[in-house]
Amino acid sequence: MIIVSNLCYHETRKAEGMTTAIFPGSFDPVTNGHLDILKRGSEIFDKVIIAIAYNSEKHSFLPIEVRKQLLEECVRDLDNVVVESFYGLTVDFARKNGASVILRGLRNSKDFEYEKEIEGVNKSLNSRIHTVYLCANPEFNYISSSAVREILLHKGDISGFVPKNVAEYLIKNIK
Ligand code: ADP
């Protein structure tokens, strides 16, 4: 397990060559918390691929094409970030895309316990792909996609939780 802060990120870079990270998740919808991890990841790694997972267990809130479109709008200014969707194992997606790192965010001890388990599975499937965690910024610590969905359901104000384009889309399209 590797947890980095912005202060020691150079230690995670390879001495030579390019390091590509994937940032997998549901992004249903993308939040300010996701974007904070992503922006910091794009400063650490040469390339970051946002990998939107088709999740067979979860019934999704937004169609995957919409999640992808919203994310693309959010990362337009980050020239080393691309958005893809995938079905299957995260480590296989990473390997096929030349990525050696899985980037994830940690908000609390519950995230930590969950992530540790997933990391163990991924490591046993492919030991050459490493998971790197960034701790959530305190100002985004309480934000989750599920909280956004719940607030929206009860017609609350989501403007502090998601980027402007996402808030506009949700308010217009989700009744
Ligand atoms: P998943 O369904 O795989 O957990 P999510 O879209 O919920 O996908 O989250 C993707 C990643 O972003 C996870 O590593 C998660 O911990 C992280 N994340 C989610 N919300 C935040 C936040 N507010 N701050 C930091 N990281 C977050």
Does residue 134 carry a pLDDT above 50?
Answer: yes
Give residue ranges with CB within 6 A of ligand 1: 25-27, 31, 33-34, 37, 104-105, 107, 111, 136, 140, 143-145
pLDDT band of 28, cuts 50, 70, 90:
very high
C-alpha span between 100 and 113 (Å, rounded): 22
Q: Is the peptide bond before 29 cis (omega within 30 degrees of 0)?
A: yes
pLDDT band of 59, cuts 50, 70, 90:
confident
pLDDT band of 16, cuts 50, 70, 90:
low
pLDDT band of 15, cuts 50, 70, 90:
very low
Identify the H or E element spanning 152. Answer: helix 145-153
Query: Tell me, what amino acid is at 31?
Result: T
- Mean pLDDT, residues 80-86 taken together: 98
Say if residues 71 and 27 touch (Cβ distance below 8 Å): yes
Residue 110 C-alpha to ligand 1 middle, in angstroms?
A: 12
Q: What are phi and psi of 84, to 5 degrees?
A: -135, 165
Residue with CA nearest ligand 1 atom 15: 105
Average of per-residue pLDDT values in the chain: 92
C-alpha span between 109 and 161 (Å, rounded): 21
**What digits encode the pLDDT tens for the residues 95-123?**
999 999 999 999 999 999 999 999 999 99
DSSP 104-150: EEE-SHHHHHHHHHHHHHHHHH-TT-EEEEEEPPGGGTT--HHHHHH
CA dihedral of 67, 68, 70, 73, whole degrees rounded to 10: 170
pLDDT band of 11, cuts 50, 70, 90:
very low
Q: What is the pLDDT of residue 68?
A: 98
Beta bridge partners of 132: 2, 103
Does residue 62 carry a pLDDT above 50?
Answer: yes
Report which listed range, 4-18, 45-59, 143-157, is most confident: 143-157
pTM for the complete prediction?
0.90
